[in-house]
Amino acid sequence: MSSIFEITHKDAAGRIGKLKTPHGTVETPTVMPVINPNLQVIKPSEMRDFGAQMLITNSYIISRRDKLREKALKDGLHSLLDFDGPIMTDSGSFQLSVYGDIEITNEQIIEFQKTIGSDVGVPLDIPTPPDVPRSRAESELETTIERLIEARGMVNDEMLLAGPVQGSTYTDLREKCASTISEHKFDVYPIGAVVPLMESYRYAELVDVIVASKKGLDPTVPVHLFGAGHPMMFALAVALGCDLFDSAAYALYAKDRRYITSKGTYHIDNLSYLPCSCPICVSHTAEEVKKADNCSDLLARHNLYVTFEEIRLIKQSIKEGNLLELVELRCRSHPRMLEALKRMYSYSDWIEKYDPASKSTFFYCGPESSQRPEVLRFSKRLERFTIKGTAVIRPFSMRAYPESDNDIIFKAPFGSFPAELSEVYPFNAEVIEDTDIESLGKALENTIRLIELNPDAEFTFIKGKELEHPLFEKLEMIADVKE
């Protein structure tokens, strides 16, 4: 149980929470804009105007620049950045991954972060990239864990300490790392070294890494997905239990004249219209932005507005209980994201443990919806239905039905359930009548099991025009089927 993180609302494995820091409480999920202390595209003091509650910067860069280091040591990190809210500091691990070596030790960077007043410090972990030999991943993970334990012994004051989860693309190493460092009670758990997966659109593997890491962690602790800054994938990551993100994308994309949306990215030179209603887009035309001397600044501001708009939508979706509908919508914006959606639902049994048992109306969004945790939960609970005597199973669209002891409705993707429950969640689901084969298959599978669980009942199945599926032959063997 985390003493600094309170979960207030849940949906899927996602949640809204309150993270307590020395400089105030942050509502999650949220994004921490990355501040380069050498090059501030947007001033930290302006960040609250976009919706930022918390920032992240690089303590290694600050420590290596005389002017920055002296001011930070003298006046503190918050004075240096001119921001009075919580600030997280990275340790230089990114530079380590790029250059192979840096001129600082784990002990030195932890002491520096403490001295300058960081709200959340990060040890000098080793961000092992994807696809390396297992021997390297194991060796670097061992070093990372040693450094994390060393840092934990050094931090006993009010600074929160992050415990990064590493292990490359080896899911067993990710889970082992998470489980091992959990014993040392870190405050925040970043999932590290995933930027290469996102840059190469390997989102399905990103899902594997997140789930493996989460399985090794206490479900009540805050989790940070390092380097995740594009709003297209926020909903997916939140649904898997990530609470914090950090984004330099708003500035890096702007530098390359790229315009971020929740569905993907445009190059500004290819836009004739600005498909957004943020203050930048309503006060400029696409041509004006293209030709502006401060084009990068305008794009960076737009990118930040869109980033936090998506975060607010995600939180509203959690409160309303329809986060998974948003995830399915976002994951149809790119084929690799759709692969990630399918991979996420391969973990529905894990998600179902955290998904609330009652929430808003289930909206069927496509074949993948048949794999949602709500459908899995119904499958697990079929043995709760006791049916005796005669039973007629009719399509949900059929209003009149033959008289029998039991009136049962067939509704994909769930299957068959007593008509008395038709207005109860999740059976009040909004679904299509022209059923997808995946949804129909799941419904027939559950219906067959329901019949088999009640061998003394006499079932009549009223066949709808949409019922054409290989499983239908098996149904005909155990029930009286009528047109």
Taking each helix axis as running N to C, give the angle between helix 437-453 and helix 373-380, from 0 to 180 degrees, rounded to the nearest 10.
20
Q: How far apart are CA 212 and CA 273, in angstroms?
A: 42
Q: Of 13, 17, 12, which Cα lies nearest the Cα of 2?
A: 17
Give burial (CB, 10 Å; 0-12/13-18/19+) of 94: buried
Cβ atoms of 186 and 141 closer than 8 Å = no
Q: Which of 90, 119, 187, 208 is catalytic?
A: 90
Cβ atoms of 210 and 240 closer than 8 Å = yes
- To the question of whether residue 278 is assigned a binding role by annotation, the answer is yes
366 vs 34, 372, 389, CA distance in Å? 36, 11, 36
- Backbone CA torsion sign across 354, 214, 210, 87: positive
Q: How far apart are CA 369 and CA 361, in angstroms?
A: 13
Q: How far apart are CA 68 and CA 53, in angstroms?
A: 23
Q: How far apart are CA 415 and CA 129, in angstroms?
A: 44
429 vs 399, 423, 465, CA distance in Å? 17, 9, 20
Active site residue 82: no
Q: How far apart are CA 322 and CA 324, in angstroms?
A: 6
- To the question of whether residue 125 is assigned a binding role by annotation, the answer is yes
For residue 323, report the phi and psi dihedrals to the nearest 5 degrees: -60, -40
Q: Binding site for Zn(2+): what residues are annotated?
A: 276, 278, 281
Q: Binding site for substrate: what residues are annotated?
A: 125, 193
The catalytic residues are 90
Q: Binding site: what residues are annotated?
A: 125, 193, 276, 278, 281
